[in-house]
Amino acid sequence: MKRFLSLLCFALCFLPAVAFAAPDININIAPPANWESVDADISENRIAVFVDNATENRIEIQSKEFPKDNYAKTFFDSLHDNLTQNNFQPKEELTDKKITLNNGKERPGKLASYTYDLTESPISVKTFMFHVKAVVYIVTIYYAPQNKESAEKVFDEYLKTLTEAK
C-alpha cells in the first residue's frame, strides 16, 4: 500500500506550474479520532498528513495560495486532468459540492473520486478542493478499495470538523 501511496504522491507532483506562496493557514486542522499525525510527511504545500494505522488509510491536506479566485478554478480542473493523465480513473464526474465548516461557514468546492488499479494492490482516492480567501485547500483520502465504506465515512465526517480560522 505504501508503494502505491508514493506513486499517487508522485502523480500529484505534476500539478500545473502556477505561481503561489506558502499560505497562512486559514482553517483549523486536527486529525480524525484515533488517527496519527505524520509530521515527517509535511512539506511546503502539504500542511497535514494523518494515517489510520489499523487500515493504512491516509488523509492529506494541501494548500496553495493564488492571487485571484479564477486561478483556483483552473487549479481544480488541472488536478483532475493530472490524475487522469497518470492512469487514475475517475469513479464519478468532477462535481460541485458545498460543505459547511464546523463554525457554520459554507464553502463551495469540487469533489472527485478516482481509482488506480494497474497494479496488484489497487488504491482509491477521494478528494475535496475548496478555498478560503485566496488559499485553495485539497483534502484527500487514500484507501484500499476494501476499506471504501469506512474510509469514505471518515472522510465525509472529517470535512465537517474543519473550522475557518478567525
Residues 147-164 pLDDT 10s? 999 999 999 888 888 877
Under DSSP, is residue 66 helix (H, G, I), strand (E, B) or coil?
coil
What is the pTM for the complete model shown? 0.78
Q: How many domains does the chain have?
A: 1
| b/e map 79-93, b = 16+ CB within 10 Å | bbebbeebebeeeee
pLDDT score recorded for residue 68: 66
pLDDT score recorded for residue 69: 63
Q: Report the run of H or E that residue 46 belongs to, with start and end.
A: strand 46-52
Range of the domain at 24: 2-164
Question: Residue 88 has what DSSP assignment?
Answer: P
C-alpha cell of residue 128: 475535496
- Encoded amino acid at 87, one letter: N
Low-confidence ranges of the chain (pLDDT < 50): 3-23
pLDDT score recorded for residue 70: 66
CATH number of the structural domain spanning residue 70: 3.40.1000.10
C-alpha cell of residue 95: 462535481
